[in-house]
Amino acid sequence: MKPDHDRPCQWTEAQILEAVAKIFPACPHKHARRILKLVSARHWFDIKLGALVEQVAGNYVRHDLTDYDDLIDRHGLDPQEARVAVADEIADILRDWKRSPGSHSAR
């Protein structure tokens, strides 16, 4: 997946939100909007929209909804150690978002 910051995103906001809703039907609206912003910020090469949404959602959850960056910055873990430390939390959140709406806890 290679982004091009100088070209506009090749997908519309509606297409991106539709992909987020299809892959993560229980994703809270505020998180879906953030994923939309991250995907639509640039043009992408060599990746399908669904795969991109999953990748961006995983990165978003790791950096914004876990202690990943804090584990590196304050606790001195290297990125791989921090990834291992938050892996279960990321998997739980993404699994919750993949469930049908109303069958999960809101995160």
Q: pLDDT per residue over 12-50, tens digit each?
A: 999 999 999 999 999 999 999 999 999 999 999 999 999
Q: Which helix (H) or strand (E) holds 2?
A: strand 2-4
For residue 40, what are the CA distances in angstroms to 56, 60, 85, 94, 103?
A: 11, 14, 29, 20, 29
Q: pLDDT per residue over 48-100, tens digit each?
A: 999 999 999 999 999 999 999 999 999 999 999 999 999 999 999 999 999 97
Please report the pLDDT score of residue 15 as a whole number.
98
Q: Cα separation of 30 and 45, whole Å?
A: 26
The answer to whether 47 and 1 are in contact (CB under 8 A) is: yes
User: Domain boundaries in the chain?
Assistant: 11-97
Which amino acid is present at 77? L
| Token representation of residue 4 | 């091009």
